[in-house]
């Protein structure tokens, strides 16, 4: 009798939560408390630093990218494999985050969820069209469902991801429609950091409330929607769950 290959090691619940939500927590802290953090960092180094109004997104992206890279590396180290969806997200975050910072254009990061969700939906549909079920591959060893149930679940998630993509695209365009263009007047005191820092006590730009609303939607709204949708699938999964296949025998 031969034994089946052992299932890949998976992160514990707390570790999985930290990998998924840790980078988002860094993003939120940098966005909503970045001004205070910059001032504290300046005071600690003997400088007078103030965050430029409208640059909160750039600071948040700059903090989010390395945090995601660390979470990704930890996931690979612990599971001894590369999670497909985490890899796709990482590539897109790296490209769009870099473009956001280098070109100082927030549109790239506004569109990041749209591209990620559309890509997820396309991969799931494309996999079914080519006879591969990526949902089954991702959850290999964690869930045991008949192929027909896997197909139904994959179609549902593909529709869900497509709906999230459309929702994000509508949301960011609507919420930031009245946001002022960021006009950066370089100052010698900030030097190369003029795009992020300003002279303390200088004239401020009008704050874009819609951008903050989009950040809340991105972090909390889409996360809650994903949890609710997954919960709705629980009865379907429980109904079709089967026992773990026995080891192959000669």
pLDDT digits (tens, 9 = 90+) for 111-136: 999 999 999 999 999 989 888 888 88
Tokens of 122: 């396309």
Q: What is the pLDDT of residue 3?
A: 43
Q: What is the pLDDT of residue 86?
A: 83
Secondary structure (DSSP) of 29-73: HHHHHHHHHHHHHHHHTT---EEPTT-HHHHHHHHHHHHHHHHHH
195-214 per-position pLDDT tens digit = 788 778 755 555 678 999 99
Average pLDDT over residues 184-199: 61
CB-based burial of residue 112 (10 Å sphere; 0-12 exposed, 13-18 middle, 19+ buried)? buried
Would the pLDDT of 61 be above 70?
yes
Average pLDDT over residues 20-43: 92
Q: What is the pLDDT of residue 197?
A: 84
């Amino acid at each position: 009798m031969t034994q089946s290959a052992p299932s890949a090691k998976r992160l514990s619940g707390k570790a999985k939560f930290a990998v998924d939500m840790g980078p988002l927590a860094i993003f939120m802290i940098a966005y909503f408390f970045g001004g205070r953090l910059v001032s504290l960092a300046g005071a600690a180094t003997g400088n007078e630093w103030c965050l430029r109004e409208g640059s909160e997104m750039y600071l948040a992206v700059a903090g989010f990218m390395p945090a995601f890279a660390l979470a990704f590396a930890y996931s690979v180290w612990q599971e001894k494999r590369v999670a497909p969806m985490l890899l796709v997200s990482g590539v897109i975050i790296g490209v769009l985050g870099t473009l956001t910072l280098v070109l100082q254009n927030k549109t790239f990061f506004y569109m990041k969820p749209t591209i990620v969700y559309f890509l997820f939906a396309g991969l799931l549909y494309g996999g079914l069209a080519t006879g591969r079920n990526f949902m089954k591959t991702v959850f290999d060893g964690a869930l045991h469902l008949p192929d027909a149930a896997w197909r139904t679940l994959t179609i549902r998630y593909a529709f869900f991801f497509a709906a999230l993509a459309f929702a994000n695209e509508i949301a960011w365009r609507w919420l930031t429609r009245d946001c002022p263009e960021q006009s950066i007047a370089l100052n010698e005191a900030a030097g190369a950091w003029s795009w992020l820092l300003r002279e303390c006590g200088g004239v401020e730009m009008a704050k874009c409330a819609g951008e903050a609303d989009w950040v809340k939607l991105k972090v909390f709204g889409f996360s809650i929607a994903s949890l609710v949708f997954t919960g709705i699938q629980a009865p379907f999964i429980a109904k079709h769950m089967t026992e773990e296949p026995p080891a192959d025998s000669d």
